[in-house]
Amino acid sequence: MKIEKFILKYFDMIRTIIAVLIGVMVSVLVIYIISKSPGHSLMYFLTGPFMTRGRIGNLLETATPILFGGLAVSIPFQASQFNVGQEGAIYLGAALGTAFALSFHFPAFMYAVIVLIFAGLIGAGWGYIPGILKAKWKVDELVSSLMMNYVAYFLGLYVINYHFRDKSAGFLVSYELPHPVWLKQFIPGTRIHLGIILAVVFAFLVYYFLYHTKLGYEIRMTGFNLHFAKYGGINTFKVIILSQVIGGFIAGVGGMVEVMGIHHRFNWQMSPGYGWDGVVVAIIGHNHPLLIILASLFLAYLRVGGQVMNLLSDVPSEMVTVIESIIILLITAEAFLSQWKYRITVREAALKEVSDESAT
């Protein structure tokens, strides 16, 4: 009976864990079907990320931009704004942030901070456009933010390619950033950099913001029920815009952190996909900033495992994308396991009735 109470209390979390386990089981199945030596492939996939210090480093480095992406997605999602423009905000924040860092110089101690704020503002602007269009004229933010991802990509590419391209390099990269804006890599043998600390700090800030400030409360109420929020006196016009602006800001910072921490120059010829990863971890983490930390680590684990497997065996890493989609489908399917919950609830209620009766 105690177990049943526990299940009811943490039902959403247990459901998520079961979805994740099913995803992992499907990947095991896929590996057994297509790999010539499934045992090895599976080992590379599941234990690969922990085998060397470098790989553990990879895991944390991979988790960093995903965490930024997830936080950036969680705020508009909490307000029920389906803005998926974080991909573009990350890309453009990084591209224009790089351009900014290469064009202007500041004293070393504040250089990095100013560049990050600039990148954040670019991202915020990118969130503002779908935000104002939605709040004022009810333009569907999903479609407009999707389109703006492509605009951001081509605009960023144009700026780097035509104005900041390092022509001595054989491929499309910007000039190297000045040293003061590099984020220090502080664990030898890895590329783990200050950005990961920044990402975790952001996660706690977003948590505090959403759950302990007035605006955060208004965002959650608006997401919970727009009309209810409106009649309760919340300025939903402001909330719709701000949730997307703040999300965009975090995305812009996240993009620039990746450039300043890992690459030290802009080198994304393709959009890196952290915005979409953000959607994935936001859904797995139920839009809760602290759970998104765990979800980001999990996704990074799958990614690095997929890469190790791709490198050392015959299973392509895209398997991970397929697994992610299955996990998300299961989590978003409300009816998944709802029968189970229903049965437990009924049994609990019956028991309670019996004990109530015997008490009287």
Among 178, 328, 341, 344, binds other proteins (CB under 8 A): 328
What single-letter amino acid sits at 181? Answer: V
Is residue 164 a contact point for other proteins (CB under 8 A)? no
Among 79, 90, 94, 148, binds other proteins (CB under 8 A): 148
Give the single-character DSSP code of 174: B
Contact 98/174 with Cβ under 8 angstroms? yes
Q: Total residues contacting other proteins (rule CB under 8 A)?
A: 44
Is residue 143 a contact point for other proteins (CB under 8 A)? yes
Which conformational region is residue 86 in: left (phi greater than 0), alpha (psi within -120 to 50 degrees), or beta? alpha
Task: Give CA–CA dist 63/49, Å, rounded.
Answer: 12
Q: Is 140 or 353 the residue whose CB approaches other proteins more closely?
A: 140
In the bound complex, what is the minimum distance in angstroms from residue 315's beta carbon to other proteins?
9
Among 133, 177, 262, 293, binds other proteins (CB under 8 A): 133
Contact 21/302 with Cβ under 8 angstroms? no
Task: Give CA–CA dist 53/299, Å, rounded.
Answer: 19
Interface map 32-61 toward other proteins (x if CB under 8 A): --x---------------------------
Task: Give CA–CA dist 184/206, Å, rounded.
Answer: 24
Among 37, 47, 161, 269, binds other proteins (CB under 8 A): 161
Task: Give CA–CA dist 57/192, Å, rounded.
Answer: 6
Among 8, 17, 333, 350, binds other proteins (CB under 8 A): 333
Q: Which two tokens stand for residue 183?
A: 């984020």
Binding site for other proteins (CB under 8 A): 34, 82, 84, 129, 133, 136-140, 142-144, 146-148, 150-151, 154-155, 157-158, 161-162, 276, 279-280, 283, 316, 318-322, 324-326, 328-329, 332-336
